Amino acid sequence: MHFFGGAWIALFFVWLLGGILGESLKFQIMKILPLVLLVGLGWEVFEMLVNDVIAQNPFDFKDTSSDIFADLLGGFCAMLYLHLWRKKQPR
């Protein structure tokens, strides 16, 4: 779920920023992945608060770190896919 969530967030920000597709892959990643990380961290804070207040489960660093990694990996794969797709499009 986090992998696909990260991919969706990356695609959303590419759509939102519009003209980013003409830039190099490195520059796109430097713009989009921090936004994916920010949303992923926000979700983990929300998840931590819900677990503490409602479910009363202890904080699990291993789960949180793997979720953040999956978010970033999904965002990176989406950016790579868009880059490769863009290169195949006729100009």
Per residue in 8-29, pLDDT (tens digit) is 999 999 888 876 666 777 888 8
Please provide the DSSP assignment of 6-59 as one string.
HHHHHHHHHHHH-GGGGS-HHHHHHHHHHHHHHHHHHHHHHHHHHIIIII-PPP
Q: What is the pLDDT, as a whole number, of residue 69?
A: 97
Domain housing 17: 2-86
Q: What is the pLDDT, as a whole number, of residue 70?
A: 97
In a domain, 77, yes or no: yes
Number of domains in the chain: 1
Per residue in 64-82, pLDDT (tens digit) is 999 999 999 999 999 999 8
In a domain, 78, yes or no: yes
In a domain, 59, yes or no: yes
What average pLDDT does the chain have?
Answer: 88
In a domain, 91, yes or no: no
